[in-house]
Amino acid sequence: MTSKNPENINTQGTTGDGGELHQLAGSGEQLTTNHGTPVSDDQNSLRAGRRGPTLLEDFVVREKIFHFDHERIPERIVHARGSGAHGYFECTDPIPELTRASLFQEKGHRVPVFARFSTVAGGAGSADTPRDVRGFAVKFYTQEGNWDLVGNNIPVFFIQDAIKFPDLIHAVKMEADRGFPQAATAHDTFWDFASLVPETTHMLMWAMSDRTLPRSLRMMDGFGIHTFRLVDANGGSRFVKFHWRPTLGVQSTLWDEAVKIAGADSDFHRRDLHDAIAGGHFPSWDLSIQVFDDEFAASQPYDVLDSTKLIPEEQIPLRVIGRMVLDRNPANFFAETEQVAFLPSNVVAGIDFSDDPLLQGRLFSYLDTQHSRLGSVNFHQLPINQAKCPVANFQRDGHMQTTVPTGRANYEPNSLDETGEDVGPRENPEGGFRTHSGALSDGSSKVRERADRFADHYSQATMFWHSQTPNEQAHVVSAFVFELSKVTASHIRLRMLSNLVDVAPDLAAHVAAQLGLSVPGASTPACPATKMAPSRALSIQANATPTLQGRKVAILMAEGSSKAKADELTSALEAAGAGVVLVAPTVNVKLGRTTVAVDGQLAGTPSFLFDAVALILTQEAAQSLTANPAAVQFVRDAYNHLKAIGSTTDSRALIEAAGVDPDDAVTGLDEAFVTAASTRFFQREPALPTLA
C-alpha cells in the first residue's frame, strides 16, 4: 500500500485554539495503518495532556516506529553494493539441437529478466568505482521456472574449491582488528592470502587490469565463470560456458579517474544505469556460448572444471544465441534490487551443473545466505523472486507464508483421490528436470582431492599478460605497484613478486623496480606451465571500437561564449550518439543577449565524469579561468585521462595553464574532435605521471 502526505496541512498539528488537526481537500488517498485502520493524526503521538508522557496505547505510533526499527535487513556478505534493472531476453539463434531449455527453442522468443550488477568487497554504502570485480547476475523468468545465471565481469575466479571461499572473502574484506580499508584489496590480509595461494594468480592478472575499472555497468562483459552442461531432448550432454558481451563495447576508466569519480559521485555507475534507462537508451548484451564435448575437455592442458581457467576464443569461438535488453528501472530499490535472491541452483530443464568444485559449493551457499538475509524459507514468494509460471508442491507453512494452500494432503504420494478430493501436484517423469546421468560415468570415487591439471596456476596468467597491449600491461604493472605498496609486511611483497616471476619475468621486474626491491627467484610450481598462444579476445584495447554511443561530452562555457557554436557542436555530437552536458562557472551564464541555465556548475562537475571535453570560451574568459583551480583541473584531468580536448582558438590560455602538450587528440571544434572523442588517446600516456 502507498501512503501520501497531505499537501495542505498545519504542520504543528493544531489550529492554535482547539488542538485539532486540519486536513484540507485534495490530499490524496486515505492514510491508514498496516492493518487498514484510517489514521486521523500522523503528526502527534497520543499524550496524557498536552505536556504529558506519551501513552503506550497509541498503536499508531507503536506500529510506525516498530516498522521503522526493522526496515533494514542484513546486507549481502559479498556483492552488497548493487544496482539492478528489469528487461527481457530474446532468443536470436535457437539451439534445440543442444538443449531442451524452453527459452532457446524459437527465434524471437522472449522471457522477462531482472539483472543486478555489483561490486564484491565493499558494503552497501561504499562507492561504485573502486578497483574490484563486478558481479553480473541475471534472473530469467521462464515458463519452466526461474534460471539464475550468476557470475562476474571476469571469466575466471580466485579459487578452485568452495572450501576456500570464506578465507578469500575474510582476507579481502576490511581487516578484522581495524575495520578498514573499505572496498579495497590494497592491504596486507588480501595479499598475504593471495601470495600463499598460487591458484589466485590468473585472477589477479585480470583484477589488476582495466577490467576492474569499468566505465559503466552498461560497458562491461559478463561471464557464467563455471563450466555448465547443456542437455538435449534425448538426454545428450555437452559442456558449455556462458558469455555476455555489451552492445556498447567494453570500456574502462583510468585509475586516477576512478579515484576522483568516487569522490565526486560515489553513485556514478548506479546513476549512469538509471539515467540511461530513464532516457530511453536501453543497455543491451549479446548472450554467447562456448560448447564443447568431453573429448575436447580431456585434450586440454588444463581442467575445464577449474574455475581459475578459461577457454580461449581462438579455440572455441563464441556463438551468439540471444540478447538481453534492460528497459525498466526498479519501482522500489529495496523491494526489487535489494530483495532479489539469485541462486546458482535455479536451473531449468536443459541446463545442468558440472562437477566444478567451486560451483558445487555455491549451490549450497547461496540458498543458505538468502535464508539468512531474508529471514524465511519463503523468500521465493517475494514478487521479485516469484516464478512467472505455475508453482505447485507440498511445501507448507514457514515464517511469513503468504500463499494459502488448500486440501487435506500436504504430502505425496497420497490416495485421497478416492474420496473425490484434490490430490495435489504430481511429478512429471517425461518433462521434469533430470540431472545428467553421466556425471560419474568414469566410476571415480568421491575424494577430497583436486584433479592433477588443477595445479597449473600460471599458464593462463602468462597468456593473459602476453595478450595485453603495452598500455594495458603498463596498467597491470601500475596496479600491482599500488596494491603492493600498501602492504606493510615485506615478506608478503616478496612472496607475491616470486609468484609474478612465474607469470612473466618482465612483469615481476617492472613491479619490483617501482617498489625498490630486487627480483626474487621463481617459485617451484606444483605443475609445469604450458605455453599458450596470446588471445586477442582478452585485450580491451585490441577489441575496442571507437564510438560515441553511450558516451558523454562536456562543453565548458562562460559569459560571452558563442551559443551558436555550442549548438552546432551539440548537434554534431548528438548525431554521433553522445550525450552533451553544458558546464559553466555559474549555474546561469549569459551568452550574448540570452541567459542560459547550464547542466553543471564547474566546481561540482569535474571532467572525469565525462568521456571528452570541449572549451568554447572567449579570450577574456579563458584568461580569467586560468586563475580558477577548478577550471585548470578540469582541463588537466581530461588530458591526464587521455581524453579528447576540443577548443576554440580563444580558449588556448586555459589549455596552456593546464600544462597540456598538444597532440592529435587536442583539436579544434570540428569533425576531428568528434572523431577523437570516440576513444581514448593512449599514445599520450607514456609521457604522463599517472602510471607507476
**Residues assigned a catalytic role:** 79, 152
Q: 428: Cβ–Cβ under 8 A, 6 or more apart, which residues?
A: none
> What stretches of 310-452 show up as alpha helix (H) in DSSP?
357-374
φ, ψ (nearest 5 deg) of residue 442: -80, 0
Contact between 80 and 172 (Cβ < 8 Å): no
How long, in residues, is the chain?
692
Question: How many other CB atoms sit within 10 Å of the CB of residue 551?
Answer: 22
Look at residues 455, 464, 539 and name the one whose alpha carbon lies nearest to residue 507.
464
Task: Tell whether the torsion through CA atoms of 369, 371, 373 and 374 is positive or negative.
Answer: positive
Distance CA 84, CA 497 (A): 38
Alpha-carbon gap, residue 310 to 159, rounded angstroms = 13
- Would you state the cell numbers that stand for residue 554, as one nine-digit string? 562536456
Map grid coordinates 536451473 to a residue.
347
> Closest Cα to residue 482, out of 493, 470, 498?
493
Contact (CB, 8 A) for 643 and 614: no
Please tell me whether residue 26 adopts helix, strand or coil conformation. Answer: coil
C-alpha cell, 366: 547461496
Q: What sign does the dihedral 12-16-20-22 (CA atoms) show?
A: negative
The candidate with the shortest Cα–Cα distance to 205, out of 533, 450, 455, 459, is: 459
Q: Cβ(660)–Cβ(645) under 8 Å?
A: yes
Instruction: Give the rounded distance of the alpha carbon of 642 from its chain centre.
Output: 24
Cell of 475: 596498467
CA distance 636 to 638: 5
Q: CA 189, 192, 198 angle in degrees (round to 5)?
A: 135
